[in-house]
Amino acid sequence: MSAEPLQILIDGEYYAEADAKISVFDHGLLYGDGVFEGIRFYHDRVFRLEEHIDRLFDSAKAIHLAIPATPAEVCQMVVDTIAKNDLHDGYVRLIVTRGTGALGLSPYQCEKGSIICIASTITLYPKEYYDDGLILATCATRRPTHDTLSPSVKSLNYLSNVMAKVEALAAGAQEGVMLNTEGYVAECTGDNIFIVKNGIIYTPTVASGSLNGITRKAVMELIEEANLPLKEIQMARYELYTADEMFLTGTAAEVVPVREYDKRVIGDGKPGPVTQQMLAAFRNLVETTGTPIY
């Protein structure tokens, strides 16, 4: 990484980190009115870039937000911002806000959306969590329902996830399990959930309130390639309590094992063979595929 201050892309112009600012009248700030993607890059390659950008445009369309660029142009913005900062391994936060407008909820007061691209480094969990596993706890805060805002939309209004994270940390856990309004497992505050029971891998359905994660999809493909049985189900906490193995997937987290949930030890309390197989397969995948940066 360059010793120079990070260069942040805002609406086509690069600004030093200290000078990268948006208007206090931006609806992304005022109302959480916007969408985002978190994207990883490894060894000079961006992992699943096109899939992330497709999801960004889908999220924007769902909230009636016009992105002032084409998908190909946004892909190029991501690659160029990484290169501008001379980075080789790290994380991109790509944000599209409704843009600057008058005070008031109407999105039609905003003339044009705003695109922000930040490229930096990230370490979500220390190495020992990948070696030993995470501790999880159930959160009281529920996932939004499909009749409010679809859980498939990666909205800038992430307050429910933030509050769930607060609850998990207060319970002495590293991550929190969020349920839907019916009490079924949706996902964690920032990751998807997989369990293994009697040799079969299970994950909650997207209809349960989980995000259709890019890493989730990649791991499901790896499971299929390994000829392992996989089922998407409506999952209760009972299935998590009695699982032989559990692991989480996410862009920042990658694949991380779980050793304890709500004071119940998962399996023998150590990362199981399927979890270790998926972690190794995923690391190989990200190191050998992706969109070239340089």
pLDDT above 90 covers a percentage of the chain that reads: 94
Lowest mean pLDDT among 28-42, 68-82, 147-161, 193-207: 147-161
If DSSP codes are grouped into helix, strand and coil, which group holds residue 67? Answer: coil
Mean pLDDT of the chain: 96
Q: Which amino acid is at 203?
A: T
**pLDDT at residue 237 tops 70:** yes
Residue 124's pLDDT is 77
What topology does CATH give the domain 7-120?
D-amino Acid Aminotransferase; Chain A, domain 1 (3.30.470)
Mean pLDDT on 234-242: 98
Distances in whole angstroms, Cα of residue 229 to Cα of each of 31, 77, 111, 224, 242: 43, 39, 50, 7, 18
In contact, 32 and 154? CB cutoff 8 Å: no
In contact, 211 and 154? CB cutoff 8 Å: yes
pLDDT tens by residue, 44-72: 999 999 999 999 999 999 999 999 999 99
Q: Which one of 21, 127, 154, 231 is the catalytic residue?
A: 154
Mean pLDDT on 206-221: 95
Residue 269's pLDDT is 97
Mean pLDDT on 159-185: 97
pLDDT band at 155 (very low <50, low <70, confident <90, very high): very high
Q: Which CATH superfamily is domain 127-288 in?
A: D-amino Acid Aminotransferase, subunit A, domain 2 (3.20.10.10)
pLDDT band at 148 (very low <50, low <70, confident <90, very high): confident
The pair of three-digit structure tokens given for residue 87, joined into one six-digit string: 């980075």
* Extents of the domains making up the chain: 7-120, 127-288
Residue 63: Cβ within 10 Å count? 18
Q: Is 24 exposed, middle or buried (0-12, 13-18, 19+ CB in 10 A)?
A: exposed
Q: What is the pTM of this model?
A: 0.94
pLDDT tens by residue, 79-133: 999 999 999 999 999 999 999 999 999 999 999 999 999 999 987 789 999 999 9
270 is catalytic: no
Q: Is 158 exposed, middle or buried (0-12, 13-18, 19+ CB in 10 A)?
A: middle
Higher pLDDT, 166 or 150: 166
pLDDT band at 1 (very low <50, low <70, confident <90, very high): very low
Residue 3's pLDDT is 59
**Partners of 203 in beta bridges:** 232
